[in-house]
Structure 1
């Protein structure tokens, strides 16, 4: 009897130790706002009109995730992260980058190893542009500034399927990253292939980041997951050849991001520049005007300056200016987008905040995609007002 009790005690101790060495965390974000947009196409009888709606994922995409770690000993750990996106305004799954909403863990689906060497992850994941976006307006305004350029420049977080990602440990403030996406096409390794390299430096109030990402044309629509949805574009008059067999293996998109941020007491100021080249984009002469979208451009240069100011530990005032110049047809004629955004973010607790934004986007010689709610359909100005609530758990 005593031996049995001793054996049970020993087994219980081992079980407790094993449990202490591994953990699984369930987490998530529910972010919903009420939005007003002016001059949105699709009004009854044609033309544009004002639009009101309830939007999911205003600042951050609503999501539920599972992440875990197991201590393997010797400083080595097994890690995983599964993250599903959803639209809580209608209860649906958030659509994948370009194709369908059937991907359950479309936001992230990775497993790997972590240790003194850094972290290696395999699966579907973002490149380092998503990490350094913390130094940009994406950190404060999220999806509100998506359409003026940060969606195309990958700062909003675009996923790469079938990828391997390596991130170093923090080396005196510096962190580096490499990512490689397998095209998985028999007989042609370069088809649908992608790769990226990035780094950031944190030193007290100073934050610097740089990232380069390149993807190549694939042979099937599934390869399009390497390209942002805005680049797959989206108008019948535009000819996009990311999945054209004649261009398989050719460079489809090249993206460079350079970002900087500095904290002056209660104020954070930041500036950044991105360039996106899409040499395979072509636009025919038919319907040329209606095809002048940012996603259909051959080259786009994006500039941003902004600030956030903490009036109190709970309340921040926000401002950002985004300007993009896009070469649509390769002739040198530039379409322009300018977005001015103002906002306030008030934290009721560490996990719940209320926000309010007003943003205006103007277009010249290209289609205005609109801040939210839809395009204006012509070179025009659109104003959006959004207020909402975000809860993290």
Structure 2
């Protein structure tokens, strides 16, 4: 992994010597000290996990990346951006917020011009960008918006453009793998297994001065079928949301709503589904170099069996309050206190089942951009 960073630095040095192209090395280090407590109750058993100490990526995931642009003439440019996460406590590159070792955060190459940009690779989804822009804490680790409510990144072809304040973002991805078995003596080839991924999404927003509003939707399908032993399984995930913000000067308001549905299937038949929705509001108030913030979220989940009958339902309330102080445009300190993933489950009749969960967080951290 050290060789990877050396290679990035070398690319930056090469780009500096070119008149019509540039390469930029950048990054962010976010470290916080605090305590998190997660409590889950199922029937008569209650499990509590408490973590105290230093962690990486409170407000934003720690990362290092390289991006570049080359002027192709006639208003057309070639661009690329490769970004990896890391643990800012010990420098471990395997700590990448679930994206895997390497440039798992963002990995795109493409072209841009007056039409916008067309990129190939792994990039952020329209719903993720909308929720990040309409959430008071920008989808931080302490945010009331649940991380399981949206798909943050996906592979495929990505488009983004802005036309007089109207922003458009779209993506489409497809991947299919067929595995065959061949009997050597007879040469008979038989299809053994097929796995397929499909994804697509669209987001539209409008920004004018202090006002921003947007809507986004996306869907992902994963299927696997086996032909030697006939069986299949798959899942379909649909995510949609609306959000916006308004800056009054003395305070900035944020609000969004997101709805997620997950459907599972076995051998073409329904294996159950889940519906989840959240509504979040927040406010940020600046005081010179300092600011204070507060956010509230209400969430609801319903699960259904293979016949479409309601199995269980849950609801809960999340919250976060905090403050920031900026030493400069690149360095600030922050403090956060909040509760997330708060759910209390009931049966279809509305009776408490005894199952519940919640996570409580207290943190003080430092964020530096370079």
Q: TM-score range by the shorter chain?
A: 0.7 to 0.9
* Partner SS state of residue 365, structure 1: strand
Contact 1:183/1:194 (8 A) holds in 2: no
- 1:178-197 to structure 2, matched below 5 A, reads 178-186=170-178, 191-197=196-202
Indicate how the Cα distance of structure 1 residues 279 and 95 shifts in structure 2: closer, same or farther if over 3 A, else same: farther
> Is the alpha carbon distance of 1:88 and 1:16 closer, same or farther for their aligned partners in structure 2, counting shifts above 3 Å?
closer
Alignment of 1:59-70 (within 5 A): 59-70=59-70
1:383 deviates by 2.7
- Go from structure 1 to structure 2 and tell me whether the alpha carbon gap of 1:80 and 1:189 turns closer, same or farther (over 3 Å shift): farther
How is 1:131-142 mapped onto 2 (pairs within 5 angstroms)?
Answer: 131-137=129-135, 139-140=137-138, 142=140
Pair 1:164–1:58, CA change in 2 (3 A) = same
8 Å Cα contact 2:135-2:256 kept in structure 1: no
TM-score (normalizing by structure 2): 0.78
Secondary structure, aligned partner of 1:31: strand
Measure how far apart 1:381 and its partner are.
4.8
The answer to whether the Cα contact below 8 Å between 2:78 and 2:110 also exists between their aligned partners in 1 is yes
TM-score by length of 1: 0.74
Show the counterpart of 1:19.
18
For residue 208 of structure 1, the aligned residue among 199, 207, 213 is: 213
- Please give the residue correspondences for 1:1-393 in structure 2 after superposition, counting only pairs within 5 Å: 19-38=18-37, 47-48=47-48, 50-94=50-94, 101-102=100-101, 104-137=102-135, 139-140=137-138, 142-145=140-143, 149-154=145-150, 158-161=152-155, 163-168=156-161, 170-186=162-178, 191-219=196-224, 246-248=232-234, 252-280=236-264, 298-312=274-288, 314-329=289-304, 331=310, 333-361=312-340, 362-365=342-345, 379-393=356-370
The number of aligned residues is 320
2:185 corresponds to which residue?
A: none
Deviations 1:131-189 (A, max 9, x none): 223433264461212xx5431222xx62212x000112x21110111100112334999
Greater fraction of residues in helix: 1
Question: Alpha-carbon deviation of 1:304?
Answer: 0.4
Where does the alignment leave 5 or more consecutive residues of structure 1 unmatched?
1-14, 221-243, 283-295, 367-376
Given that residues 118 and 160 in structure 2 are in contact (C-alpha distance below 8 angstroms), is that contact kept between their aligned partners in structure 1?
yes
What does residue 233 of structure 1 align with? none
> Is the Cα–Cα contact under 8 Å of residues 192 and 219 in structure 1 kept in the other structure?
no
- Once residues 298 and 237 of structure 2 are traced to their aligned partners in structure 1, the CA distance between those partners, rounded to angstroms, is 20
More strand by share: 2
Q: Does the 8 Å CA contact 1:190/1:216 hold for their aligned counterparts?
A: no
- Per the alignment, residue 6 of structure 1 pairs with none
Question: Contact 1:327–1:333 (CA<8 Å) still a contact in 2?
Answer: yes
The separation in 1 between residues aligned to 2:120 and 2:174, in whole angstroms, is 11
Give 1:209 deviation, angstroms.
Answer: 1.3
Counterparts of 2:277 and 2:195, CA distance in 1: 26
Contact 2:194-2:224 at 8 Å conserved across structures: no
- Compared CA separation, residues 55 and 49, structure 1 to 2 (3 A): same
Indicate how the Cα distance of structure 1 residues 263 and 218 shifts in structure 2: closer, same or farther if over 3 A, else same: same
- 1:369 is aligned to none
- The question of whether the paired residues in 1 share the 8 Å contact of 2:131 and 2:256 is answered with no
Q: Distance in 2 between matches of 1:114 and 1:140?
A: 26
Moved more, 176-185 or 20-29: 176-185
What is the distance in 2 between the residues matched to 1:80 and 1:16? 13
Distance across 2 between alignment mates of 1:101 and 1:17:
30
